Amino acid sequence: MVRHITDEAAANEPSITTQTHSCDPSPAPHVYKVGYPPQRNLATEFTETLRETFFHDNPLRQYKGQPGLTRLMMGLQFLFPVVGWGRNYNFNKFKSDLIAGLTIASLCIPQDIGYSKLANLDPQYGLYSSFIPPLIYAAMGSSRDIAIGPVAVVSLLIGSLLQNEVDHVKNKEEYMRLAFTATFFAGITQAALGFLRLGFLIEFLSHAAIVGFMGGAAITIALQQLKYVLGIANFTRKTDIVSVMKSVWSSVHHGWNWQTIVIGTSFLAFLLLAKYIGKKNKKLFWVPAIAPIISVILATFFVYITRADKQGVQIVKFIKKGINPSSAHKIFFTGPFVLKGFKIGVVCGIVGLTEAVAIGRTFAAIKDYQLDGNKEMVALGTMNIVGSMASCYVTTGSFSRSAVNFMAGCKTPVSNVVMSLVVLLTLLVITPLFKYTPNAILGSIIISAVVSLVDYEAAILIWKVDKLDFIACMGAFFGVVFESVEIGLLIAVGISFAKILLQVTRPRTSLLGNLPGTTIYRNTSQYPEAKLVPGVVIVRVDSAIYFSNSNYVRERILRWLTDEEDKAKAAGLTKINFLIVEMSPVIDIDTSGIHSLEDLYKNLQKREIQLILSNPGSVVIEKLQASKLTEHIGSSNIFLAVSDAVRFCKTKSMQEP
């Protein structure tokens, strides 16, 4: 029921095309006026808002018109996607998944042992975390490419946060129990966000902040590995770069071990070379995938035959043999550690979700299939809840393993099952062989794994595109590097929210002019050839008008008006008699916004300037009508298009003496 001039439809299109219409001030026939949407009752309005907020993808549409048994099967398939793809599984897919699973297993085993050290846990806990959680995800996850297991950033984060509460050396048992408690609450957080369809909350951590946080965490992780690569026994527990470098250089004369340095640097060079080969030739993806396990085998053999451990080379010494023991009785459900575990779990759970969902969406886009973010959260949460009861710590999707899994040609989550079975075999049979594995090789593996997290190309692109985003990126980066992981995360979240607040409280407004030979009105800054209309100021508001920005919008419009009045007076031009506010981008308005428009109207009346509104949307015009503001302004002063409003102003100016 929106009515205005027939040839004005083109004026409201986002693309700009040359029109042959003239700006003749005479009224055109078939004038359409802004219509009002049909009235809706409170229940209908609330239901529609709720549906659009939480169920915008209409997840129940596929169940409509289906018989009961079919609905049951579809429900099972929704909760357990394996029910769907499992029916079409065949031997060819299994061959691809088997190769991919064996490939990522060769990568995950040495990484798991190293990442457990980042979390200040015994090596077997890293392996435990790559056994049970991948099996759960294979049944419940919807991504075909994600490889599940411990990751560097979350391992560092949980280790850092736990260490702030409990000393992992003096109170090892309490530290371990708190780790399981944090993992349990991380799973609860993830599953709850998915079940309640609140996944959009993780979007508040912007891409720029994530790039900076990940880069800073990668630098911090690499610096932490210097104690293993250089063979330093007494190393600081702080993670900031200043403390780490002080610890490194204070040990240069008596704390470094040359045999360890030879092992660490030589294998680090080998791992980086393997990664470079795989990057240059995608067909050789398996080279960087098997390089870590080859490095572990060679380094372990070298230490064993030379007994380098007698010369000060630190070794793993012992990895407990056997499958995951139950840890359900070790989770804190009462006492002071419950709240601490909850806080740590929420932080680690959200960071893990952010990483996993980003990875899943990346590969889903490449393979052209849909990924349900909320379903992913439920799957990730469930696997962490179960994992916390099976001696696992927080696991999520690993980018390095997922990339290898993808390039190895995985077809389904069965590759995770294959990897899990290889880890099981390792726990049952192979763990004693890691006794002489030097810590230096684990440090080298971690350094080579986190190098790719420093995405300098993305940082450069962010600088070119959005300087405010770059500040968020660098704030998160320097917060992690120079302070701590948790401070960096707080800075990342804080700057992301600050950016949202800045954009909400200080929306853009622009002065519009007429593109010669058309009825189109555009920003004069973007189109310098656009001509201002004598006696008329046209301002566009590029945001919803809420309590947080209503005063600013009113003041900014008045400033535009005052500036144009001064220019017109200085140039001896026609006095400004009309102010047109283009409201096409204004998607919503609240009571504060309406009061601001009312104040603007009263201010203009005192200055003998007519306020005119152009193209308010259905939600906006409905609220303006309910507040009676349309009666004050006059329905004859509300138009569908700027060109209609300008034609009206010109006609009225010609009629006045």
pLDDT tens digits, 564-616: 999 999 988 888 999 999 999 999 999 999 999 999 999 999 999 999 999 99
- Tell me what pLDDT residue 31 has: 62
pLDDT higher at 464 or 7: 464
Residue 37: its pLDDT value, please?
75
- Dihedral sign of CA atoms 84, 88, 89, 93 in order: negative
316-358 pLDDT tens trace:
888 999 999 999 999 999 988 999 999 999 999 999 998 898 8
pLDDT of residue 657: 59
| Residue 496, pLDDT above cutoff 50 | yes
Lowest mean pLDDT among 172-176, 326-330, 337-341, 400-404: 400-404
| pLDDT confidence of residue 584 | 93
Q: Note the pLDDT of residue 499.
A: 85
| pLDDT at residue 5 is higher than 50 | no
Query: Does residue 574 contact residue 534 with C-beta atoms inside 8 Å?
Result: yes
Residues in CB range of 470: below 8 A, 6 or more apart: 208, 459, 462, 463
Average pLDDT, the chain: 87
Q: Is the pLDDT of residue 57 over 60?
A: yes
Pairing verdict, β 509-514 and 521-523: antiparallel
Q: Which residues face 523 on adjacent strands? A: 512
- Per-residue pLDDT at 459 exceeds 90: yes
Q: Mean pLDDT over residues 452-463, rounded?
A: 91
Share of the chain above pLDDT 70, in %: 94
Label residue 106 exposed, middle or buried (CB < 10 Å: 0-12, 13-18, 19+): buried
Residue 200 has pLDDT above 50, yes or no: yes
Can you say whether residue 312 is alpha, beta or left, with left for phi > 0 and alpha for psi between -120 and 50 degrees?
left
Task: Please report the pLDDT score of residue 70 as a whole number.
Answer: 76
| Mean pLDDT confidence for 20-40 | 59
Judge whether residue 257 has pLDDT over 90.
no
More confident residue, 102 or 2: 102
Instruction: Answer whether residue 2 shows pLDDT above 70.
Output: no
Model pLDDT, residue 588: 92
| Beta carbons within 10 angstroms of residue 18's beta carbon | 10
The 8-class DSSP code of residue 508 comes to -
pLDDT (average), residues 293-300: 93
pLDDT attached to residue 30 = 59
Distance CA(411)–CA(273), nearest Å, equals: 28
| Number of residues in the chain | 657
Residues 6+ apart with CB under 8 A from 451: 218, 222, 272, 275
Sign, CA torsion 146/147/153/159? positive
Q: Is the dihedral of CA 77, 81, 82, 85 positive or negative?
A: positive
What pLDDT sits at residue 198?
80
At 573, list the tokens: 């031009």
pLDDT in tens, 214-245: 899 899 989 988 988 988 878 887 888 998 89
Torsion sign over Cα 392, 398, 404, 406: positive
Give dist(CA 21, CA 26) in Å, integer: 13
Dist CA 285 CA 115 (whole Å): 22
Residue 21 has pLDDT above 60, yes or no: no
Task: Give the Cα separation of 636 and 305 in Å (integer).
Answer: 94
